[in-house]
Amino acid sequence: MASTVIKNWDNKTWLSSKDYIKKFNSFLAKNIKIHSKSEILDIGCGRGKILGNLSTKLKLKNKPLGIDLINHNDKDKRIKFKKINALNFFLNNKKKFDLILIKQTIHLLKLSEIKKFLYLSKKNLTPKGKIFIFSLDTNKNEIPTFKLMKRKLSKSLARDKKILNLIIRSNIQITKKKFSYKVKISKKKYLDMIKNRYISTLLTLKKKELLEGLKEINLKYKKKIEFKDKLICIIL
């Protein structure tokens, strides 16, 4: 997988809020039959808050497994965690999963790796297991941006669209769903998120570019920012 990693996507953002996690896990429950005996894997789990909540909600007998390239000190204790590259994990794994969750991480793969990654993911499923791939909505994205961030995000979304089309073309049986969450956040908190480079499009910006962007956001938005965080979900 790509070496670029995001350290702060789930660090005190709406993505780590109890309300977001509750609604996200309710979405999962509506679209797949999982129960206390289910085996669950989250690729790119971050601090594992989604998995931890799911574990409690389902009263899982076996802790769900989360893998990531960063081992956070404050990761959720309700999960098993491995610091490992996903491809390396699959090559050595012997366990089968009822649900493999790939939430906003598949874009970190090289295009040349994706088919192999999906092939290995499927090999690690139980007979009725499912893979849930979440990606930012490539057509109706509402994430608040400044000019340079918007250009980079548009370029990233165009690549995401290629990835989604590749997945759809490579798989006969797919289900496509949409998940949306209404975000209400203070401008101050959102500025802090940008400072922490919470999204991959901000990782390569120079400090001066980031500071200019912060000024732009400060002038562009009111004290309270509201928008919909929209995701596309492909189920394999």
pLDDT tens-digit profile of 202-233?
999 999 999 999 999 999 999 999 999 999 99
H/E stretch holding 213 reads: helix 207-220
Give a yes or no: residue 8 inside a domain: no
Instruction: Round the average pLDDT of the chain to a whole number and report it.
Output: 90
Give a yes or no: residue 57 inside a domain: yes
**Least-confidence region, from 24-38, 104-118, 129-143, 149-163:** 104-118
Give a yes or no: residue 138 inside a domain: yes
- 41 pLDDT higher than 70: yes
Give a yes or no: residue 75 inside a domain: yes
Q: Phi-psi region for residue 173, left (φ > 0), alpha (ψ -120 to 50) or beta?
A: beta
Annotate 74-120 with DSSP letters as a single string.
T--TTSEEEE--HHHHHHH----EEEEEEES-GGGS-HHHHHHHHHH
Which residue is it, tokens 């004290």? 223
Structural domain boundaries, residue 221? 14-235
Give a yes or no: residue 114 inside a domain: yes
**Least-confidence region, from 44-48, 176-180, 182-186:** 44-48
The number of distinct structural domains making up the chain is 1
CA 42 vs. chain centroid, Å, equals: 9
Torsional sign, CA 31, 34, 38, 42: positive
Give a yes or no: residue 6 inside a domain: no
Residue type, 141: N
Q: What is the pLDDT of residues 76-118, one digit of tens each?
A: 899 999 999 888 999 889 899 999 999 988 888 888 888 888 9
Taking Cα atoms as reference points, which of 61, 69, 54, 165 lies closest to residue 99?
Answer: 54
Give a yes or no: residue 199 inside a domain: yes
Give a yes or no: residue 123 inside a domain: yes
Q: What is the domain-level CATH number for residue 102?
A: 3.40.50.150
Higher pLDDT, 171 or 90: 90
